[in-house]
Amino acid sequence: MRLTRGLPLAFAVTNFAIPFFPAFITLTAVTVPGVSLVPRWFAVTLLVVMAVVAIYATVTLLVPPLQTPATFWPLLAWIGAALLSAAFGFDPRGGLLFIGLFGLALVWHLAIVRYYRAPGVSRAIFTSYLLSGGLASLAAIAMVVTRVPVSEYAIGHGRAIGTFILPGELAGYLIIFLPISYAVARVSQDARLRALAWGALAAGAAAFVMTFSRAGWMGLAAAIAFYIFFGGRMRRRYAPLILLGGLAAVLVVFNAHHNPSENYTRLSIWQAGIEIVRRFPLTGVGPFNFARIYPLVRLPDGDAAAFHAHSFLLTIFAETGLVGLLAVLFAWWRFALELLRRLRGASPANSTIALAIAAGLAGTWVQGLIDTVSVVIFGLWLPSMALALVTATDGLGEQPRSS
């Protein structure tokens, strides 16, 4: 069909652009909590491009026969809960940009589920994703080594950031990226794609270590443990050791490249978040309104400013209330059930890639216990959930090699 011929290009552009998504925060009224290397005009242009791609993808989704995957209504309920809390929140317009981005991610999710098997789509997804992540990792490493730009090196205390706003964002991105790179390198039948995956894995691993993100390190340790535990019975006994190793690494380098004064700031922010929940338990204060309300409830010795509750669940609870929290948990529960259903009877190669993606998602949840990473929530979760579902049945989408 002519209408769908542009899908490989659309997926390639979208996946390649992910490392620039954190720059969207410069389009909000929130003060950027770091250094954005992407100028505002580029962020606006990128947003327009993503909107055009989403419109195109939406049109292709409307081609009969219409399909509604198992995750459609739960994810739509998640967006509906965010809109409801925005309507009753303190600044209804404040979170509309990121609610819109989440809507674009939903279109992305649905397009992957429906058109993954279309000619050229799966290859475009993985090639662009690996190439973009590898280049983003190399750029982050180069910026640390050369200490350029100086402002980013100084504000990050020598930690890898790259095109992301904060080290934790780069770490969150790599928690999903590294397991996928490893799985593609293992199971792909294409020698060039395998070489790209191994190179991306090496660059990404080096950049990940250089983030010195304590939440990120524990998140990746959890992702590896998840993959080992569910990937084979013989290796399950090593999963707890991986978690202990991650914890030991965090404790050993507890203050490496960190301002020691930051070690206890989360405690006061968590208490402020709990106070917001206590006052606005049903629909919260509205998406991205945590920073607006925080000064009114912060402890006298707490940080002067906080952009979120440094915990995904607490942030969701504070900003969207019980309605939003239940919507999020329901969406993830429905995804897990559907993934388990598809994994039953999956081939070893297919289960390898699907479990790797699921492991990365689980790792971001562990990171999210003590951090909130916007690029993961708005740019990675929904498309990665779709990839996990389709690869469980179709693998990398490659044709078997002829004998």
Cα gap 86→318, rounded to integer Å? 12
* Summary mean pLDDT of the chain: 91
pLDDT at 292 over 50: yes
pLDDT at 171 over 50: yes
Asked if 174 and 137 count as a contact pair (C-beta separation under 8 A), the reply is: yes
For 214-249, write each residue's pLDDT tens digit.
999 999 999 999 999 988 665 777 788 888 888 888
* pLDDT interval class at 345 (50, 70, 90): confident
Tokens at 286, concatenated: 């509205």
In this structure, the number of other CB atoms found within 10 A of the CB of residue 260 comes to 8
Q: Work out the average pLDDT over 315-344.
A: 97
Cα gap 134→206, rounded to integer Å? 11
Encoded amino acid at 69, one letter = P
Cα gap 88→381, rounded to integer Å? 26
pLDDT at 279 over 50: yes
Range with the lowest mean pLDDT among 93-97, 190-194, 311-315, 355-359? Answer: 93-97
Q: Work out the average pLDDT over 311-323.
A: 96
- The CA-based angle 21-31-368, given to 5 degrees, is 55
Encoded amino acid at 283, one letter = T
Q: Work out the average pLDDT over 351-358.
A: 96
pLDDT at 254 over 70: no
pLDDT at 402 over 60: no
In this structure, the number of other CB atoms found within 10 A of the CB of residue 237 comes to 10
Residues of the chain above pLDDT 70, percent: 96
Looking at residue 34, its pLDDT comes to 80
